[in-house]
Structure formats: C-alpha cells, structure tokens
Amino acid sequence: MSDSRTAEEVILALQSCKSPRARDTAQFYNAWAKNYETDLSLMSYRSPQLAVDFLSENFTGSPGDVLVLDVACGTGWVAKLMFELGFRHFVGVDGSEGMLEQAAETGLYQDLKLALLGTDPLPAQTGVFDVVMVAGALCAGFAPVSVVRELCHAAKPGALVCMARGNHTETQAEEYKQELERELQLMEDEGLWTPAGRRHADRYMRSSNLSPEREQDQQPFISGTVYLYKKSSC
C-alpha cells in the first residue's frame, strides 16, 4: 500500500475489503498495518479518540495502577492515547500479526496476543482487568455480537467496559446494531453489568460508501456511538 494516498484512494481500499471470512480480513489488515493510522486519519476516523475521551470522563482512581485490556488493539492507537492520560499497563489482542507488530513497536504493551474475535476464544484471563476497551471492531464482518460477553467476562467486578463503533447504514450493519443492542440489554437484564453512559457522535469517520454519481444524496460522514458499562460486583 502506498505511503501517500488520498482519502478517495483509502475509500476504494476499504470497499475492497468485503470478505465475510475473518482470515481474509486479517490478511487485508496485515498488508495495511504500516499505513493504517495515516490512512484512517485521512478518513477523519475518531473511534479511538471518542472511546478514550468518554472512558476518561467517567474513570475515577489512579490510571497508573489499572490494567487495561485493549481488544482489537490494531497498531496501538488507543493505548497511545490512554498513555497520555497516565495509563501504563496494557494487554493487547488483535487478529492481525501485522497490526500486532506495529503495536509492539509502541513499547506500551506488557503482552500482545493474536486471536480472531469470534473465531478464537478471547485470550484474556477472566475477571482481572480494570478497564476493557474496544474501538471500531464491533461491526458486521469483523467481530460477532457474542464477543461482548467475552469482554464482560474479562473485566473484574466494578471495572469499566468501553466500546465505540460506527453507525454504518448498510442493511447488514443495521441488523448487526439491532442484534448488538439486544445483547447489551439482555446482559443488563441478567445483572452482568450496568450502563454507565452512552454518547452519540455525529462525526465518527468519513463514509466509505460514497459514490461519485450519488454524492449529493449521501452524507459525507457516518455517526458513531460509544457505550460504557460497569461490571457488576455480584
């Protein structure tokens, strides 16, 4: 992938990643890893920043003392933002070896684990993490909705689980969102966690579905949602 692409070229690249197979997606991200942050910056991608900001606003205690599980950590974008706020202890999980190599270069992670979400079990101990983060991966074709229970299991009682995702408008994405919100509510009803907040963002990232012939009829940005839950003590 080129080191100097335009936003339009990034959009075309994203549109080419349509395989439903998790391993195909992982290979796409392997090839993309070195230019991932640069390319997504061209797309005004705000998922990591939105997640970290919302988590920080609701976090109490000493950030330097907590253990963070960064799921779908990619290149380490979330960890870098959290490090600026005083967080120091990170375990990262991602399905792409190339992404994990970039994350390792940050020097921020005490451990990095390779796993395809939904295909492999989440490689995290149960009930040990003070904060669990996932920014961007909760969407159709990436991580099944069932993954949110694994995030909750990894959190210790009283821990915060923060999830940021884009509100993509394709039919499959709408169905995913509905299934996700049903599962979040079910977990709340089961007493696994309680909601600590939810934030809507008008500008989550530039839309990757714009077509020149319909550009005037389409919104240039998609919105996003950040969910925050607190793991129950019982």
Q: Which sign does the torsion angle of CA 137, 139, 142, 147 carry? A: positive
Question: What gap in Å lies between CA 144 and CA 179, rounded to an integer?
Answer: 10
DSSP for 14-54 reads HHT---S-HHHHHHHHHHHGGGHHHHHHHTT--HHHHHHHH
Q: What is the arithmetic mean of pLDDT over 18-42?
A: 86
Write out pLDDT tens, residues 78-119. Answer: 999 999 999 999 999 999 999 999 999 999 999 999 999 999
Give residue limits of the domains in the chain: 46-201+224-231
Whose tokens are 């380490």? That residue is 76
Per-residue buried b or exposed e for 115-138, using 16+ beta carbons within 10 Å of the residue's own CB: bbbbeeebebeeeebbbbbbbbbb
Separation CA 172–CA 141 (nearest Å) = 9
- The predicted pLDDT at position 214 comes to 44
Residue 218 pLDDT level (bands cut at 50, 70, 90): low
Could you please state the CATH topology (level 3) that the domain comprising 46-201+224-231 is classified under: Rossmann fold (3.40.50)
Between CA 108 and CA 110 the distance in angstroms is: 7
Range 172-181 average pLDDT: 94
The pLDDT value recorded for residue 209 is 65
pLDDT band at 213 (very low <50, low <70, confident <90, very high): very low
- Higher model confidence: residue 163 or residue 169? 163
Q: Are 2 and 9 in contact (CB under 8 A)?
A: yes
Q: What is the mean pLDDT of residues 9-28?
A: 76
Give the mean pLDDT of 11-33: 79
- CA angle 60–154–145, rounded 5-degree value: 105
pLDDT tier at 6 (50, 70, 90 boundaries)? confident
Is the pLDDT at 216 greater than 50? The verdict is: no
In one letter, which amino acid is 150?
E
User: What's the pLDDT score for residue 205?
Assistant: 94
User: Which are the contacts of 188, defined by CB distance < 8 A and separation ≥ 6?
Assistant: 194, 195, 229
Mean pLDDT for the stretch of residues 192-196: 98
Confidence label for 234 from pLDDT (cuts 50, 70 and 90): low
Asked if residue 16 has pLDDT above 80, the reply is: no
Q: Can you tell me the mean pLDDT for 52-71?
A: 97
Task: Report whether 92 contacts 59 (CB < 8 A).
Answer: no
The amino acid present at 11, given as its one-letter code, is I
pLDDT over 50 at 75, yes or no: yes
